[in-house]
Amino acid sequence: MRTSNYDKYPATVVENGYILTGWNEILAVLSQGEKVLAVDLYTGVLEDEVIGQLKKLQPALLIDTRQLMKPEEEILEMTSRFMTDDVLFGYLSNLRLEDYFDISRLEEARRQIGEENGKVIVVGTGAGWVTQGMETTLVYADMARWEIQQRFRRHEVKALGVDNRAEAPSLQYKRGYFNDWNVCDRYKDGLFARVDYWLDTNKAGEPKMIDGKTFMQGIENTVAKPFRVVPFFDPAPWGGQWMKEVCDLNREEVNFGWCFDCVPEENSLLFNIEGVLFELPSNDLVLLKSRELLGAPVEARFGKNFPIRFDFLDTMGGGNLSLQVHPTTQFVHDNFGIHYTQDESYYLLDAEENASVYLGLRKGIRKEEMAEDLRKAQNGNFVFDAEKYVNKFPAKKHDHFLIPGGTVHCSGAGGMVLEISSTPNLFTFKMWDWQRLGLDGKPRPINVERGLKVIDWERDMDFVNAQLRNQTKEVASGDGWVEEHTGLHENEFIETRRHWFKKPVTHCTNRSVNVLNLVEGDEVTVSSPVDAFEPFVVHYAETFIIPACVGEYTITPGNAEEGKTYATIKAYVRF
């Protein structure tokens, strides 16, 4: 196994920026300014910490926006159609933040603010909306979704208008994914221009604050060049050992199964301001700069949604993933309110000698017999024979398996998968989990009936070999480089190209965001032929994003050693 100089904390440098650290510095600034101080909070912020610190300013009036919202029972009823009774899946909410507020309480609060002569602080989600039209100093405490998920696991934070801290983390995540985060992002998207200060409270007790000018400069700097989001890692019941070494992770952990290396809705961005790292959700960049980032044709199709996802699945020294299937686009639209499905692919970054991938159905199987065996396995005391029904292929380094929705699949033990897929990342119907418990010691949810509804039964061995397994074709070459088409399937909107190179290679975004990973070689440099941005260094296994507005860029090997070959895999949206 190789080692790497993988960078776990990539950051955009913001020169001459404004940043404060610690509550003392922050409160000293917030004590000045307008009579009304509004501190707006993304869901997942540690509210008690923020409110406790703001009380030190001794305001004449402090209003917590939770007290202006409808009773919890009404909010639970209002959101019930989006939460549904399902343990995993809901329906994407179309609620607005203002739907949460009790009009009479809101009007009374605004009256009190108008009549108060002393310092007024309004704090909580929607503080900017409560104080709109007033002379206000507006602070926004943003929050990265990965940190929110850690707080769910520790039962530390309330949902929007609801105290659900006692619920299982999976149910808290479900409410965030289908409801709260959508509501907060819609609201925040209309608030950017008003915010005077941005507050980073991702680390409890270690707040940082930047002003609006520094925030916008960081956004502008990021979208004008190659960049990386902040990866996060998580163990899994099937997790392996490869990432511990290559990504320099905690060797004391039992395993790491997941790495989300490019999921902008979930990941963070870091701004390096005077040597201090300021964290914000990378989705802010998508909301503010969707056209420059995605490209006009991609934005026209997906709106303010980043459509490409790269993540890692490590089963080297681990076990099989669940046998699973992703739904069709029509199914997710009808059942979950999502506009496109989780089409994906497995690119093998590395593999042990006996690594495998399960993909597609065996020829001649009986649909009814497979369905009955899956149901019996779900009910217990029956072992599902996966290899009786599903093809099992040997997998080696740099293989690429394409997995359009409706295709039964599973990454087997012994593989290090770079998963290249469309962005929806929740819609996996597990049908068999190898008699295994989750990390919480409980069986993981199985969705046999949903899976059976979306399986494409015509995707057998012949289909897989003809259309899904290693569909590699050379499309261009030059001095010291070769470009290959590797996928994805024609049913998927993502195109992937692999470049093998020993000399610099010039690429063009062609009006679509490009997402790449360095799949061979220790280090490369990404540069602009017209010096539009500073050279950007990328290390082995790092995923990096090239905004559509960059246009042409060059990738240069970091080592000119004779015979040394490098490779990148690139994904972009077909149109």
pLDDT tens for each residue of 316-360: 999 999 999 999 999 999 999 998 899 999 999 999 999 999 999
pLDDT score, position 562: 65
Q: What is the mean pLDDT of residues 477-504?
A: 96
Task: Give the model confidence (pLDDT) of 256-314 as tens digits.
Answer: 999 999 999 999 999 999 999 999 999 999 999 999 999 999 999 999 999 999 999 99
Q: Which helix (H) or strand (E) holds 421?
A: strand 415-422
Q: What is the mean pLDDT of residues 191-213?
A: 98
Look up the CATH number of domain 12-223: 3.40.50
Q: What's the chain's average pLDDT?
A: 96
Q: Is the pLDDT of residue 548 over 60?
A: yes
Rg of the chain over all Cα atoms, to the nearest angstrom: 25
pLDDT score, position 560: 58
Strand boundaries in 203-253, DSSP class E: 208-211, 232-234
Alpha-helical regions (H) of 248-344: 283-288, 290-294, 296-302, 329-336
Task: Give the model confidence (pLDDT) of 392-418 as tens digits.
Answer: 999 999 999 999 999 999 999 999 999
Span of 215-219, 260-264, 473-477 with lowest mean pLDDT: 260-264
The confidence band for 441, taking pLDDT boundaries of 50, 70 and 90, is confident
Task: Give the model confidence (pLDDT) of 238-258 as tens digits.
Answer: 999 999 999 999 999 999 999
Q: Is the pLDDT of residue 432 over 60?
A: yes
With beta carbons less than 8 A apart as the criterion, state whether 487 and 507 touch.
no
Angle at 405 between CA 548 and CA 381, to 5 degrees: 140
Q: Is the pLDDT of residue 442 over 90?
A: no
With beta carbons less than 8 A apart as the criterion, state whether 488 and 420 touch.
yes
Domain residue spans of the chain = 12-223, 258-465
* Closest among 292, 42, 338 to 187, alpha carbons compared: 42
* Closest among 123, 104, 121, 126 to 180, alpha carbons compared: 126
CB 39: neighbour CB atoms within 10 A? 24
Q: What is the mean pLDDT of residues 481-502?
A: 97
Query: Strand 19-21 relative to strand 208-211: parallel, antiparallel, unpaired?
Result: antiparallel
Distances in Å between the Cα of 42 and the Cα atoms of 144, 280, 287, 328 are: 9, 11, 15, 32
The CA distance from 411 to 355, in Å, is 9
Task: Give the model confidence (pLDDT) of 355-384 as tens digits.
Answer: 999 999 999 999 999 999 999 999 888 999
Q: What is the mean pLDDT of residues 174-190?
A: 97
Q: What is the mean pLDDT of residues 163-181?
A: 96
Q: Which helix (H) or strand (E) holds 500?
A: strand 494-501
Q: Is the pLDDT of residue 1 over 70?
A: no
Distances in Å between the Cα of 326 and the Cα atoms of 48, 335, 404, 408 are: 40, 13, 8, 8
With beta carbons less than 8 A apart as the criterion, state whether 256 and 439 touch.
no
Q: What is the mean pLDDT of residues 541-559?
A: 96
* Closest among 450, 174, 424 to 325, alpha carbons compared: 450
Sign of the alpha-carbon dihedral angle for 197, 203, 204, 208: negative
pLDDT score, position 388: 98
pLDDT score, position 2: 56
Instruction: Tokens for 413, please give them.
Output: 């033990």
Q: Is the pLDDT of residue 3 over 80?
A: no
The confidence band for 424, taking pLDDT boundaries of 50, 70 and 90, is confident
The CA distance from 261 to 231, in Å, is 4
For helices 23-30 and 47-54, angle between their N-to-C axes, nearest 10 degrees: 60
Instruction: Give me the CATH topology for the region 258-465.
Output: Jelly Rolls (2.60.120)
Beta bridge partners of 536: 526
Chain centroid to Cα 369, Å, comes to 37
The CA distance from 489 to 360, in Å, is 14
Instruction: Tokens for 80, please give them.
Output: 């019930």
With beta carbons less than 8 A apart as the criterion, state whether 201 and 45 touch.
yes
Same fold, 12-223 and 258-465: no
* Closest among 214, 202, 211 to 26, alpha carbons compared: 211
The CA distance from 502 to 524, in Å, is 11
**Residues in the chain, overall count:** 575
